[in-house]
Amino acid sequence: MSDDGTVVDLRSAKVTHGAFFNADDPSEVLALNRSWKYLAVGDQFGRIALWDGAGGHKRLGILSSVSTSAGARSRGIDDAAAITFSPDGSTLAAASSDGAIQLWDVASHQLLGSALPTPGDPLLSLGFSPDGGTLYAAGTHVPLQRYEIGSPGVAADVCERAGTGLSRADWKTYLSGIPYRKTC
């Protein structure tokens, strides 16, 4: 994609003209998932627009964020400084210049949990591990941060924070009908 919104599909050499974003605003960030199905465009106001990445110029929605992180402003991502898709394209991660990181489920456009804890300094780069289970973030004054976001990493994190798993009574209250098993 060029800075004027022109998209060139390198596989077919098809050129599509038009604006997915405001070409006059250098503060916007872009991410295209590997299958070219989705294009995400983040702007200086914290909006992240999800577009048909195949060049169809069809906006699929706006990903909204509400952050509960102490390091992030109450309205969520203040300005999109970096965005990236997971390798399978199912998750989008966005970082703001104030240090907030949020994740979305791409298919449903739903926010996945609250903001990830960060040092609070500007983040300028995001990347997923090849299996999508780890998110990496870095900035000018932020050394490489590692976030385990895959199921095993999340489960271990929850168990560490809780200090124990569900008791039999809690299991019966919240998961009745499912046979009890130790969670941590």
Tens of pLDDT along the chain (184 residues) come to 555 555 556 566 666 555 555 545 555 777 877 777 888 888 777 778 888 877 657 888 888 764 434 443 333 556 778 899 999 999 999 988 778 898 988 888 888 877 888 887 888 889 999 999 999 999 888 889 999 887 766 667 777 777 788 888 988 888 888 888 887 7
- Where along the chain do its domains lie? 7-149, 151-184
State the pTM of this model.
0.68
- What is the CATH architecture of 7-149? 7 Propeller (2.130)
Model pLDDT, residue 92: 92
Model pLDDT, residue 135: 94
SS3 content of the chain, % helix, strand, coil (to 5): 10, 35, 55
Beta bridge partners of 32: 39
Model pLDDT, residue 70: 42
Contact 151, 183 (CB under 8 A): no
